Chains A and B, each alone.
Chain A
Amino acid sequence: MEKGPVEGQFVNSTAERNIGDVMVVGGGISGIQASLDLAETGFKVYLVESSPTIGGKMAQLDKTFPTNDCSMCIESPKFIECNRHPNIEILTYTEVDRVEGEAGDFKVTLIKKPRYIIEDKCRGCTTCTEYCPVKVPDKYNQNLSLNKCTHIYFSQAVPLVTYIDPDACLYLQDEKCNICVGVCENNAIDLHQKEEKVEVEVGAIILSPGYEIFDPKLRGDYGYGKMENVITSLDFERILCSTGPYEGELRRPSDGQHPKNMAWIQCVGSRQVIPGGNSYCSAVCCTYTQKQVILAKDHDTDIKATIFHNDIRSFGKDFERFYQRTENLPGIRFIRSYVSIGKELPESKNVTIKYSTTDDGVKEEEFDFVVLSVGLNPPDGVEELADKFGIELESHRFCKTNPVNPIETSRPGIFVSGAFRGPIDIPESVMAASGANALCSQLLAYRRGKLARERVYPPERDVSGEEPRIGVFVCHCGANIGRVVDVPSVVEYALTLPNVVHAQEDLFTCSTDAAREIADAIREKGLNRVVVAACTPRTHEPLFRDTLREGGINPYYFEFANIREHCSWVHSREKEAATRKAKDIVRMSVARAAILQPLQEFQLPVDKRGLIVGGGIAGMTSALSLANQGFEVYLVEKDTDLGGIARRIHYTLDEMDVQAYLSDIIRKVYQHPLIHVSTDATITEASGYVGNFVTKVKSGGRVREIKHGITIIATGAEEYKPTEYLYGQDDRVFTLLELGEQIAKREAGVVNAESLVMIQCVGCRNEDRNYCSRVCCNNAITCALKLKEINPQMDIYIIYRDMRTYGFAEDYYREAADREVKFIRYEPDDKPQVEATEEGGKQILRVTVTDPILGNKIALDADAIALAAAVIPSATNTEICRLFKVPLNPDGFFQEAHVKLRPVDFAADGVFLCGTAHYPKHIPESISQAYGAAGRAVTILSKDSVTASGAISEVNEDECIACGACISVCKYGAIEFHDTPQGRKARVIPVLCKGDGLCNSKCPAGAISAKHYTDEQIFAEIDAAAPALVEVR
């Protein structure tokens, strides 16, 4: 919409000032996460979004790599969380007009664009949409389908209200039609709505405006905009999605046919120095393309797919396996070639692509559907945005940040989160969001909790005297469940089950309106138990328990039937059997729900101290952040000195002075009165639970017991000791880390070498370590540039498999090539050979490698060789894993709670993760994650208490025979004997009980029971599992 000077009046007079702590600008996943963390830390947040709903780009994605989690399914619960959080005020369809003031005291002027709907009155019923006569291209679906001029942005939108497109509305254009006004029963439509100016005072600002996709139309790249069957990858996300233009059917735009032979073209708009292109690598496209190929194959196993690519940059956690999975699918070709579009065939509208390979030369091939893997641009209007906020941009027009703090902008008090700081993926955006919370909390620690409010629920209805009245809600999950399981028949079946008084189907049971429907049904239909048949309780149970509280009944009356992860997704080709199984699962859940008991949660005090394991850059950054927020921290390091592996790093691409930074941060850590450092320390015991951990640390010959409320694991990683390429046999062969140290020392053998060869991917991307070490390509370029600076005459060769200089590092790769560093690519089955030999009386190292273009062997005579040795998990990880009860992934790195949305959390509450213990990463990335861990930790430390589950054990003293079986197995010490008039009986100490239920299965008398998992409840499920299984035969 065009914006002129604002005519609107000040609706908010100074009498009711809008005062908050932090304003988050941009409501994508990063802004959402930042808001939630801030709100949980006790800050009042204004979340400002320019589009009609929060959600951002992630809401448009079908699935997310590398787990292929349904994007909307994992993001939308966060919309609801934001919407329900008493400390978050969401302002959608709102732009920032002006920012005044300084850190701690900003005044932001906002402009609420007219959506022509009164938000408070609209119930999201979409009657207006139904009656609206005007169709407009649907922006959410990338204009591939039509929607009405008045509509809800997408079905899970928050707020769930319609908006009217003023450019298409017949009334707003010519005052011709006002049908919508007449049909709206809530009188929510106001076609005379005007822009509103709102002033908000906040102490800090987080910018998370996200990114825009590269628009190939501007230059007419690859026929986009002219040829109907050439689309962008974001268009394709919508096509794949069940809520997309073809309801999840894989069709092409020209004729709606199912494509059979698809092509993807990589690096569209990225890695280009020609005008209109971006010189950097967009970092996410390689892996999202692989995801799209897998999903296309899921839609139609016969589809053939060709991916035209440059380097494959699978540098993230589990990306390498994802790449292999894609590559191993039948009918998939990865072709390394630049391409151009030939022509569009007039009859079929198929498109030809010209490419060349070393084996076959130039070829032209026909495809019926072409996807352009477009890169990431800065957000539209970025200069204006930078201007308003008074921040600087870097050379690619993304937000300028400092390598030692990638979350700070150039203006104090304004922080950046998400892809506005450069092309990054979802987990990194989420880490930065939590990190932004930590930084805001450092700045505003003095006002934490002052404006915060508590959530109020309706009083709980006592239903203990009622017969069970169960409501069953069966979710289609778009097409995720509905495509396999016959949802209507499951609903019908549910109605035949005992105690079920209501059953219905929903497109998305997790959407705001469906949640409201459940709460309404509880009240109106007198439900006293709810079963939702949808996805896994591990992610969505808290949401629905909250819904039950909204409905006025105890949250433990909720039961989940997992018919997605455990059914539709794993039996996608057996629709009938899957439907039968879904019915069984619902029957088991209903049987259990009927005898669920209301439980009372209780509050546990929080020890406001933190323990950080590992004193490298990540651990120290977290420690300083927490201490600067006012929390006492214990920092435990196994070595004699702080600093970790960074002590051996001297140079980085962004020319950070690592050693100066390190000594500075070490000094700050030692000087901080709230940080207690233990070096040469080992952890001997760890116990406790969120808010109340107890850890024993042995250091300097004595063991001390530390009590703390949270734990951050930052144990770092190590460098692989190569056994290949004469390493350890010839002292002219180093690892890259060693090379950096040699350069720093200006070691003559290195800096005066005539010729130096680097070999990449040593010890990883192989059978032993099936992952990419992420940092080595940049490190090789760093060393090469440094050597060229010292000794421009030196011949430097980098022998590589794929150069993975993702993001802005691409510029340095180009610079190295410009400075005549030679890059030679090798295949894993034809590794370079190294031998020590003599040439013309000189001792040399001869590297033989196959020329990838000519196919012949070439010999490079080198004075020194550097091996890009893998980054491997710390040897202490297995011990830390055992002590703190946190899992490792198959590669030996720590496994976070959720790869996309909980990248610094462990599944266990109160334990967090950062740095290379999570996965290899560069220093700025470690710092960002370290702030993220601190930002997550403070959501707990800032509270006086945490809520503990009501699902704990309980003793029925009448049955107890005081045998002590339960006491003997409870290592939490949560059960004790006490004397009663009936003699000695066991009793449970609720704060210590973790609800594992071991005591219950050891009790010979059936006297102790694990609440929510009682014998009776489990027997009900066991028995309910039996009958219909007979039908399977």
Chain B
Amino acid sequence: MGYEFEPKILGFLCNWCCYAGADLAGVSRYQYPTNMRIIRVMCSGRVDPAFILRAFSNGMDGVFVGGCWLGECHYVTEGNYEALSVMHICKKLLKLIGVNPERLRLEWVSASQGIRFAEVITDFVKKLKELGPLGIGEGIDADGLKLKFEAVRSLVPYIKLVERERLRVHFETEDEYDKFFSSEEVDRLFRELIVDKLTISQILLLLRERPLSTGEISEILGLSQSEVSRYLNSSAKDGLVRFDEVQKCFVPV
């Protein structure tokens, strides 16, 4: 058919470095593919996890965040370090819901690096073409994907608290961030603090649509019945769901 998959990308660029770099790419006429749409923010630290998740949830195949090089943030707040943490956290969340974390890319582009901007975008488009369309590339059906994103989006305020209490770190180099966020300690933290919440969030979203039995839930989420029971019991204890004797199903409270 001559059909070629053209990934849709949404980019969040900080005004001072990456957006200026994109301007310079234009001024210098460096050509790159047309796939990305750009949203200007003042600082890459302004990029809320909710923005990234909403973009994916809207069907974007890739999300790009561009900031100043570490140590070169225009602001004293050094939001680019925060952006790096947010990116690591979001990648972990994507992985958790089965989405390839490489669909999210953070790059540093200075105001004088027009050529680098063009190269980075060209490369990202190429990478996303390899990964295929969002969901299809992962083998997740559209409904499942929607549910997962909705569940994780509803957790954003909670995730911000976890970030502040447990994951707020400051290192000088990217390597140190890589090391920290791939450490067993952070993995454990994610398992303990986020995985369960995410599953419960999915169950609640499902129940909000219609009452379901343990078996039905376990089928949709691909979990064992005993796991689902455990989640339902703890949610019932927290007053989030109850068992409806008439329908023989769980319903939200």
Contact = CB atoms under 8 A, between A and B. Distances in A.
Contacts of B161: 963, 965, 1004
Contacts of B50: 1015
9 contacts: A564-B26, A570-B32, A994-B77, A1001-B47, A1001-B48, A1004-B158, A1004-B160, A1015-B48, A1032-B6
Interface stretch (B52-60, B207-215, B217-225, B230-238): B52-60
A887 B112 CA distance: 9
B77 A907 contact: no
B88 interface: no
B16 A907 contact: yes
Contacts of A581: 34, 37
Contact of B82 (A907, A998, A1005, A1010): A998
A972 B160 contact: no
A687 B76 CA distance: 7
Interface in A294-351: 298
Interface stretch (A270-278, A457-465, A572-580, A742-750): A572-580
A889 B34 CA distance: 27
B74 interface: yes
A1025 B75 CA distance: 28
Contacts of A889: 112
A1023 B161 CA distance: 26
B76 A969 contact: no
Contact of A971 (B30, B49, B77, B163): B77
Nearest to B47: A1001
B160 A584 contact: no
A1004 B45 contact: no
Contacts of A951: 42
B248 to A, nearest CB: 38
Contacts of A1015: 48, 50
Nearest to A573: B31
Contact of A1025 (B40, B58, B76, B164): B58
A535 B226 CA distance: 59
A1017 to B, nearest CB: 10
Contact of B31 (A570, A1000, A1029): A570
A1013 B31 contact: no
Interface string A735-760: 00000000000000000000000000
B31 A571 contact: yes
Nearest to B78: A971
B74 A885 contact: yes
Nearest to A1032: B6
A1003 interface: yes
Nearest to B59: A1026
A1001 B15 CA distance: 16
A1021 B40 CA distance: 10
Contact of B72 (A571, A887, A890, A1004): A887
B27 A1021 contact: no
B149 interface: no
Contacts of B60: 1025-1026, 1029
Contact of B54 (A574, A994, A1022): A1022
A978 interface: no
B82 A996 contact: no
A1029 B157 CA distance: 29
B241 interface: no
Interface in A978-1033: 994-998, 1000-1006, 1010, 1013, 1015, 1018-1019, 1021-1023, 1025-1026, 1029-1030, 1032-1033
Given A537-B40, A1003-B160, A570 B48 contact: no
B91 to A, nearest CB: 17
A785 B77 CA distance: 54
A875 interface: no
Contact of B15 (A538, A566, A585, A588): A538
A69 interface: yes
Interface stretch (B17-25, B138-146, B194-202): B17-25
A968 B19 contact: no
Nearest to B69: A887
B10 interface: yes
B6 to A, nearest CB: 5
Nearest to A965: B164
Size band of the B side of the interface? 35 or more
Contacts of A232: none
Contacts of A1010: 42, 46
B73 to A, nearest CB: 7
Contacts of B5: 1033
A592 to B, nearest CB: 9
A968 B23 contact: no
A25 B72 CA distance: 41
A1018 B51 contact: yes
Contact of B46 (A578, A1013, A1032): A1013
A1002 B164 contact: yes
B202 to A, nearest CB: 21
A68 B28 contact: yes
A1029 B8 contact: yes
A566 B38 contact: yes
B112 A890 contact: yes
Given A538-B23, A965-B160, A998-B45, A1022 B51 contact: yes
Nearest to B46: A997
B182 interface: no
Contact of B25 (A570, A970, A995, A1029): A570
A514 interface: no
A881 B40 CA distance: 24
Contacts of A562: 23, 38
B43 interface: yes
Contacts of A1002: 82, 160, 163-164
Contacts of A965: 160-161, 164
Interface string A898-920: 00000000011000000000000
A84 interface: no
B211 to A, nearest CB: 31
A882 interface: yes
Given A566-B26, A895-B112, A1005-B157, 14 more contacts: A562-B38, A565-B26, A571-B31, A571-B34, A885-B74, A907-B74, A907-B111, A972-B77, A997-B46, A1001-B82, A1002-B82, A1015-B48, A1021-B39, A1022-B55
Q: Which of B10, B31, B77, B118 has the most CB of A within 10 A?
A: B77
B99 to A, nearest CB: 17
Contact of B29 (A572, A971, A1004, A1022): A572
A67 B160 contact: no
Nearest to B133: A1033
A1001 B75 contact: no
Interface string A946-967: 0000010000000000010100
